[in-house]
Amino acid sequence: MPFRAPVSEFRFILDHIAGFDQVAATDRFAEATPETVEAVLIEAGRMCEEVLAPLQRAGDLDPARLENGVVRTPKGFAEGYRAIAEGGWIAIAADPAHGGMGLPMAVTTAINDMMSAACLSLQLAPLMSQGQIEALEHHASDDIKALYLPKLISGEWAGTMNLTEPQAGSDVGSLSTKAVPNGDGTYAITGQKIYITWGDNDFTDNVCHLVLARLPDAAPGTKGISLFLVPKILPDDSGALGKANSLKVVSLEHKMGLHGSPTAVMQYDGATGWLIGGEHDGMRAMFTMMNNARLGVGVQGIGVAERAYQHALAYAEGRRQGKTESGNITDHPDVRRMLATMKADIFAARAIALANAVAIDMQTATGDPEWAARAALLTPITKAFGTDTGIAVAQMGVQVHGGMGFIEETGAAQFSRDVRVTAIYEGTNGIQAMDLVGRKLMDGGEAAYRLLDEMEAEAEAARSTLPALVDPVWQACETLRETVEWMVEQAPKDRLAGSMPFLHGFARVLGAHFHLKAALADPEGPHARLAEFYIQRLLPEHAGLLAHARQGADALFALSAEDLAS
């Protein structure tokens, strides 16, 4: 079925939910007027609908492949990438000094959502470049910026991120790739990296890899890691391309989904690279890229959820079975429940992601540490809840189709296969939950409490208007506050044992807060009715999740390895 870019929904959330007016009021983003943002979203939405969406199924049936050492991408992907690059959609938030639009991250987030819905396999390519652009803007030398940023921003060159090695998955500190000084300011990079998204392509002139590696005097663990920029083809000082670098794609992974996106095993054999940031300071520089990617990956889950929902709704509206008022299966209570759950959770996840992006923009524009703390707090929630929502919604989409959902020709199964990995890469969702209860609560919970204060104040202000919705939201905020207090007081092992239910409970309450704001902004419209569904039927899950979060580690580890194996 045709994809419809939800531009009006983005405008509603930005205008009424996420606080984008604060961003537009800053000097840094004064040009992001409502008229400008709407025009940008409409144009990007049109590109997603007309150019990218038709590539979704084609990329699954005609996967990327490696032929004689050369990556061949699916038919139409080169033209799709060209449309993204020529439209300026790679570098929406990048510095105008190097050719970027300089628009807020909230706008980038909305456009990445639409591109992910249209064709996730292809959207991964510009997402990797966006992260590399941000890392270079923050950590590269002026010479590197001048040479590489204009090419990455224009889309002439593409960027990747190389972290994982066969023996070092999420334990990045175990990596063994070596970097040896060449004596001329460059380094010889040797090692193997796996799971490299868009490690190569056949539609850009160059591919630039950000590679984590160890210098000869490096300390063990993450403190001994440095970051290097290693291009596929070595450019001269003017950007003209010369000889090939000493690297290659060894193989492409055979994956459950995302068949159109080449995921490479990369081999570096003394490849020439340039240090980005300081020696042994690679993790700080790489986290700039990874945090960008974590927001982006959360939005990928939301985008796929949107497409899966539209697909399921269209099927349900055309499927006649049983006696219903409308004549189709949307009037069967369980089908209606699934469709309403899909739509309500997409709204909640999208509002969280855009609020996260607004916090990043406010941090950028003001330098206020409270905005930085808000952005940091919301990032693991955005990534984990966004991707878990994508997985759950895609699964429900298959169920709405019934038996036809299990038939590949309907396309419903592809959404489930494609989105599944988003809960794994850029830090598994378990790592996101650990980060939330660990690093993000190291302030004693202050960032969480400030957010809860705002949520409760807004609920109180609406008590006379929507009392039936306000009371459960306010009580849920109190339960979440008590759980934050509990987490702050516990030993790390007890925090970690409840980290995942805590994250999902937090997201449930945040979702209710944003749905309540939507009901206040649209009291007689569909947003109010959707809010009523979410708050009455989905919000109650928070109580069980947060009770689970507060159980500590004793019962969990009372189960021995032998118990688990018996």
- The string of pLDDT tens digits covering residues 170-196 is 666 678 899 999 999 999 999 999 999
Distance, CA of 494 to CA of 504 (rounded, Å)? 17
310 domain-assigned: no
Residues 6+ apart with CB under 8 A from 47: 83, 84, 87, 89
Cα–Cα distance for residue pair 519/525, rounded to 1 Å: 8
- Written as one letter, the residue type at 539 is L
Section 195-218 average pLDDT = 96
Residue 156: its pLDDT value, please? 97
Burial class (CB within 10 angstroms; exposed 0-12, middle 13-18, buried 19+) of 320: exposed
In what helix (H) or strand (E) does residue 264 lie, and over which residues does it extend?
strand 263-276
DSSP 3-state assignment of 347?
Answer: helix
What does the pLDDT read at residue 281? 87
Residue 288 has pLDDT above 80, yes or no: no
Answer yes or no: are the C-beta atoms of 276 and 208 closer than 8 Å.
Answer: no
Instruction: Answer yes or no: is 516 within a domain.
Output: yes
Q: Model confidence at 2, in pLDDT bands (50, 70, 90)?
A: confident
- In sign, the C-alpha dihedral spanning 546, 308, 419, 285 is negative
* CA separation, residue 508 to residues 44, 345, 496, 514 (Å): 30, 9, 19, 10
Please list the active-site residues. 426
Q: Are 309 and 395 in contact (CB under 8 A)?
A: no
Give SS3 for 194. Answer: strand
How far apart are the C-alpha atoms of 242 and 244, rounded to whole Å? 7
Q: Express each pLDDT in 313-362 by its tens digit.
A: 999 999 888 777 778 999 999 999 999 999 999 999 999 999 999 999 99
Q: Which of 261, 281, 301 is the last residue of a domain?
A: 281
Q: What is the pLDDT of residues 507-560, one digit of tens each?
A: 999 999 999 999 999 999 999 999 999 999 999 999 999 999 999 999 999 999
CATH number at 240 reads 2.40.110.20
Residue 357 lies in a domain: no
**Tokens 């919604």 — which residue?**
393
**The 3-state secondary structure of 213-263, one letter per residue:** EECCCCCCCHHHEEEEEEECEEECCCCCEEEECCEEEEEECCCCCCCCCCE
- Phi/psi of residue 449, nearest 5 degrees: -65, -40
Give residue 67's pLDDT band: very low, low, confident or very high (50, 70, 90).
very high
Structural domain contains residue 105: no
Q: Helices 333-366 and 282-318 meet at what angle, rounded to 10?
A: 150
Model pLDDT, residue 461: 94
Q: Are 479 and 363 in contact (CB under 8 A)?
A: no
Are residues 5 and 49 in contact, defined by beta-carbon separation less than 8 angstroms? yes
pLDDT interval class at 221 (50, 70, 90) = confident
CB-hemisphere CA count at 13 Å for 50?
8
Of 298, 476, 450, 478, which Cα lies nearest the Cα of 381? 298
Give the pLDDT confidence score for residue 323 in this predicted structure. Answer: 75
* Domain finish residue from 281, 296, 330: 281
Q: Determine the average pLDDT of the residues in 160-167.
A: 89
**What is the mean predicted confidence (pLDDT) over 254-279?**
97
Chain centre distance of CA 23 = 21
Asked whether residue 355 is domain-assigned, the answer is no
Does residue 542 belong to any structural domain of this protein?
Answer: yes
The 10s digit of each residue's pLDDT in 9-54 is 999 999 999 999 999 999 999 999 999 999 999 999 999 999 999 9
**DSSP alpha helix (H) spans, 401-466:** 412-419, 429-437, 446-461
Q: Across all residues in the chain, what is the average pLDDT?
A: 95
The predicted pLDDT at position 291 comes to 75
482: tokens are: 């008590």
Sign of CA dihedral 301, 307, 309, 312: negative
Q: How many domains does the chain have?
A: 2
Provide the residue type at 248 as one letter.
K
Whether 185 is covered by a domain: the verdict is yes
Owning domain of residue 492: 431-554
pLDDT of residue 208: 98
Q: What mean pLDDT is predicted for residues 426-441?
A: 96
Closest listed residue to residue 498, CA positions, set 542, 448, 548, 540: 548
Rounded to whole angstroms, the Cα distance separating 382 from 474 reads: 22
Q: What is the pTM of this model?
A: 0.96
Sign of CA dihedral 253, 254, 257, 261: positive
Domain boundary among 233, 260, 281: 281
DSSP 323: -
216 lies in some domain? yes
Q: What is the DSSP string of 103-114?
A: --HHHHHHHHHH
Burial of 458 (0-12, 13-18, 19+ CB in 10 A): middle
Alpha-carbon span 162 to 160, nearest angstrom: 7
